[in-house]
Amino acid sequence: MKQETIDKLKATVRDIPDFPIKGIQFKDLTTTLKDGEALAIIADELEALYADKGVTKVVGIESRGFIGGAILAARLGAGFVPVRKPGKLPAITLKKSYSKEYGVDVIEVHKDAIVPDDVVVLHDDLLATGGTMKAALDLINEMHPKKVYVNFICELSYLHGRDVFPKDVEVTSLFDF
């Protein structure tokens, strides 16, 4: 992606100080998503990253990961799978507890969402410390897909979130701070 395009996307991100707790500088991508041109760029760039990888399922992390994940799935002709907070999915689920930068959380996915022949992209809007996505990766790997990619729109590289992922997992982001 051209630097001019990256700069355009970065300019749409809003900083929210002390959210959700004091000391956290929250990068709010809802301002990026509400910008039609930025959203179109994101859709095009995500599609370009995965168009030739044989992706069969895109897994979106609740809740902003549902947006880019669903767009990517539609663009690739793949299925969409939500990873949600506990109690939101109606069928039998697998669950994973994990530590976040400001607490402990749990995520769930339908037990039958992924099959061994699937090539999966795990998608969320932002990579900070990596805890949520690493838990999602562990959860999806319990279903033994053929291949898993990890993707974010934005990355806070100064937090070194990539370090939590195994070296054999391809991790991409469209831009970083």
Catalytic member of 64, 108, 155, 162: 64
Amino acid identity, residue 156? L
CB contact set of 114 (below 8 Å; sequence gap of 6+):
57, 59, 81, 120, 140, 143, 145
* Helix segments in 27-118, DSSP class H: 30-33, 36-50, 65-76
Place of tokens 């990355």: 155
- How far CA 167 is from CA of 128, 150, 170, in Å, comes to 18, 12, 8
64 is a catalytic site residue: yes
Specify the pairing of strand 25-28 against strand 14-17.
antiparallel
Instruction: Report whether 129 contacts 159 (CB < 8 A).
Output: yes
**Choosing from 4, 45, 101, 108, which is the catalytic residue?**
101
Helix, strand and coil percent figures for the chain, each rounded to 5: 35, 35, 35
The catalytic residues are 64, 101
